[in-house]
Amino acid sequence: MEFFFRPQSVAVIGASHSPSKIGHQILRNILSYGYKGKVYPVNPKGGEILGKKVYRSVEEIPGDVDLAVVAVPAPLVPEVLESCGRKGVKGVAIISSGFREVGNRELEERVVEIARKHGMRVLGPNIFGVAYTPARLNATFGPENIQKGKIALISQSGALGIALMGWTQTEEIGLSAIVSVGNKADVSDEDLLDFFDSDPETRVIVIYMEGVHDGRAFMEAVRRNGKPIVVIKAGRSERGAKAAASHTGSLAGSDLVYDGVFRQVGVIRARTVRDAFVMARALSELPEPRGENTVIITNGGGIGVLATDAAQEEGVKLYDGPDLAAFRRVMPPFGSFRNPVDITGMADVDSYMGALEIAQANPNIHSMALLYCETAVCDPLELAEGIKRTYDGRKPLVVAMVGGERTEEAIRALNSAGIPAYDAPEDAVRALKALYLWKKYRKKRSKQFADTQ
Ligand code: COA
């Protein structure tokens, strides 16, 4: 699987001279994102595209080709693959549509046969491509830029996957990889789970899924995987499940069955795309909590109560202990040191930092949610700077900030420093819940894996 993500050289077959065509856009993305390996456009017309010499066939390329991205009309794909096989290409990512998804099963089978004959792996067909940020590889026709991070995204939906590339960028969510699986004629979800499990650049795997082809293989791949897996499983409703079945042709199955399987093998299920990244952000940045005791620190009673409700609903345990009285030191007499610890609307950056230090130093506290409502006494950007300076990274800290533009800026500043920050208290609690869930699932998975050995 290596050569799909860390190829030394990439050929774009069907690299078009016309900027509006997909083959051109893929080549442009590869070049502009800063890929350092060799890049070879292939087109029988020859010439030059984007300053690169064009080869008339992949077999004319002088050096080795690890990855070929194919963007020619479906009927031409078999002959292109034969040519790749003769050249000794290792992996082929087939962008072209027009295979099993439109009932053209035979053409897809032929493609797989050719690939097997030559010992090549096939990603797709019917995909938007593959990107791997540590190698500065963006072999997709999605947005040009992708923020580097530790979350790998596997998408069963093409359009949604492309949209998520743009969305993660505006939300400042860093990705290690994004990969479109399309019809999964050869490379499967399980192959990708195995690859990302062994990939040191990936800490969390997010899958947008409409269904699985082989439930047993999926469960086994999850069991042998040592990283958190967050799944957005579409088709929760009966009608949605039918739509999913006709979209990807996968077994939509009963949603309750999926729910049960996810729980059994330790997959974290997200309700929405946003929910998935709320959790993935925390899972990719924070250490595992050593125990169950959470403390909420807030300058606003209201958001404190919202977070408390969320904690109760999500099963996040709020700590009650006499040592919470230590927080008295950083609040006015009318504050409340009971959890949620309310340091009041008078709290400035120093009071927040004092509270954070108390929570960090207390061994009975295992995770912290710091909540903030924008006030004139505490500037959000200064607060963000204070948190960056004071947080020692030894136990999980999530932040929720509610306010205007400066608050949004502060959230971005914290996220880019690797401190998960959200614009809603419920999200911060949900992020902690994901950490607790993963702690439980990690143990469960390794036990199940040991039992199968
Ligand atoms: N080797 C290399 N290049 C070849 C070729 C061959 N054997 N045969 C033709 N080409 C060239 C063409 O000359 C053309 O280049 P040009 O524009 O410079 O003339 C280029 O490949 C593209 O071929 P074209 O026939 O113009 O196709 P297209 O760009 O209109 O469409 C696809 C090609 C793959 C994009 C289209 O068939 C398709 O499948 N689109 C859907 C893609 C998609 O949505 N995928 C799923 C996303 S989730």
Judge if the beta carbon of residue 104 lies within 6 A of ligand 1.
no
| pLDDT value for 252 | 52
Q: Is the CB of 44 under 6 A from ligand 1?
A: yes
Structure confidence at residue 241 (pLDDT): 72
Examine the pLDDT at 207 and tell me if it is beyond 70.
Answer: yes
CA-to-CA distance for 43 and 49, rounded, in angstroms?
Answer: 10
Decide: residue 227, CB within 10 A, 0-12 exposed, 13-18 middle, 19+ buried.
Answer: buried
Q: Say yes or no to pLDDT of 91 above 80.
A: yes
Residue 245 has pLDDT above 70, yes or no: no
The whole-number average pLDDT for the span 262-274 is 93
Domains observed in the chain: 2-283 (3.40.50.261), 289-438 (3.40.50.261)
**Residue 170: band (very low, low, confident or very high) from pLDDT cuts 50, 70, 90:** confident
Whether 251 has a pLDDT exceeding 80, the answer reads: no
Q: Checking phi first, is residue 129 left (phi over 0); if not, alpha (psi -120 to 50) or beta?
A: left
What is the three-state SS of 156-193?
CCHHHHHHHHHHHHHCCCCEEEEEECCCCCCCCHHHHH
| CA 13 to ligand 1: nearest atom | 2
Question: Cβ neighbours of residue 72 under 8 Å, at least 6 residues apart?
Answer: 13, 14, 23, 80, 96
State residue 247's pLDDT score. 61
Q: Report how far ligand 1's centroid is from the alpha carbon of 317 (Å).
A: 55
Mean pLDDT of 26-47: 98
Asked whether 21 lines ligand 1 (CB < 6 A), one says yes
**Buried b or exposed e, range 43-70, using 16+ CB within 10 angstroms:** beeeeebbebebbebbeebeeebbbbbb
User: What is the distance between the alpha carbons of residues 59 and 47, in angstroms, rounded to a whole number?
Assistant: 16
Q: Over the stretch 93-137, which tens digit does the pLDDT of each residue have? A: 999 999 999 999 999 999 999 999 999 999 999 999 999 999 999
Q: Return the closest-CA partner of residue 446 out of 265, 282, 289, 284.
A: 265
Task: Report pLDDT for 239.
Answer: 77
Asked whether the predicted pLDDT for residue 160 surpasses 70, the reply is yes
Can you tell me the distance from the alpha carbon of 58 to that of 87, in angstroms, rounded to the nearest whole number? Answer: 7
Label residues 230-266 b or e (16+ Cβ within 10 Å = b).
Answer: bbbbbbeeeeebeebbebbbbbbbebeebeebbeebb
Long-range residue pairs from 27-32, CB within 8 A, at least 24 positions apart, any chain: 27/52, 28/144, 29/138, 29/139, 29/140, 29/141, 29/142, 29/144, 30/137, 30/138, 30/139, 32/138, 32/144
Which residue has the CA at smallest separation from atom 29 of ligand 1?
21
The mean per-residue pLDDT over the stretch 236-259 comes to 70
Q: What is the CA radius of gyration of the chain?
A: 25
Rounded Cα–Cα distance for residues 196 and 430 (Å): 24
Q: Residue 249: which pLDDT band, with cuts at 50, 70 and 90?
A: low
Q: What is the pLDDT of residue 453?
A: 67
pLDDT of residue 250: 55
Determine whether the shortest distance from the Cβ of 76 to ligand 1 is under 6 A.
yes
Rounded CA-CA distance 81/86 in Å is 9
| CB-based contact 244:393 (threshold 8 Å) | no
The SS3 of residue 271 is coil
pLDDT at 234: 79
pLDDT higher than 70, residue 215: yes
Cα–ligand 1 centroid distance for 64 (angstroms): 23
Any atom of ligand 1 within 6 Å of the Cβ of 22? yes
Contacts of 156 (CB under 8 A, 6+ apart): 181, 207, 208, 209, 210, 211, 248, 250
Per-residue model confidence as pLDDT tens digits over 410-434: 999 999 999 999 999 999 999 999 9
